[in-house]
Structure formats: structure tokens, C-alpha cells
Amino acid sequence: MKENQSAARNNKALSATQIIAQLALLNDWKLVGDGPDVAIEKTFRFPGFLETMAFVNAVAFIAHSRDHHPELQVHYSRCSVRWNTHDVQGISVADFDCAARVEALLSSD
């Protein structure tokens, strides 16, 4: 069983207050959509296609390892990453966990 499968089964949709509190901890992520399509999203920009694709592959690795997969919109020099949890028809802790892991990819710390 993958690292996050048992945790994902216990996931619940976060309340609006919880979502706002978690969004405040992330840099430039925004709330998009509504109802069961509500999600958190961020667009990342890169110098060119090679850097964009390297980022996409790193996001794919995170998604696979966490067994939680985002919607990606990939362009030449940017990629939008959108997380939500279909099983709970909303946003869960798993979405914020994965968003933080994606943020860490580009952290300069």
C-alpha cells in the first residue's frame, strides 16, 4: 500500500475556515471553482519548455508517491497545478500537503 492510501481513506472535506487558514500558509495559491469542483490552484512560470517539463515530471513524482493526482495545464513556459479531492467533493488535507510539497520543489531555502 502506498504511503498515503490509508490517510486518503480517512480524508474529509475541509470547512471554508480551514481552507482559508491553510491557504494563508501557501504562497500565491488561490481558491478556484465551486461546489464539488472547488480546488486550490497556482501557476508556476519558467524560462522555457525544458524547465517547465522538469517541473511537471517532479509534480508527477509527488502525485504518484502520495497517490493523489492534480489537474495540470502545461504550456511552453508555465504550468498551472490544481488540487482537489474528488472522493470528498471538495478540498482536503491531502490537497494542501501536496501543494506544500510542490512549493518545496522551488524553494530557495
- What CATH code is assigned to 5-105? 3.30.1360.20
pTM assigned to the model: 0.89
Average pLDDT, the chain: 91
Predicted pLDDT at 43: 98
* Burial per residue of 7-29, b for 16 or more beta-carbon CB atoms within 10 angstroms, e otherwise: bbeebebbeeeebeebbeeeeeb
Q: Report how far residue 46's alpha carbon sits from residue 61's, in angstroms, rounded to the nearest whole number.
A: 19
Has residue 3 got a pLDDT over 60?
no
CB of 99 closer than 8 Å to CB of 105? no
Residue 1: the pLDDT is 43
Distance from C-alpha of 36 to C-alpha of 88, rounded to nearest angstrom: 8
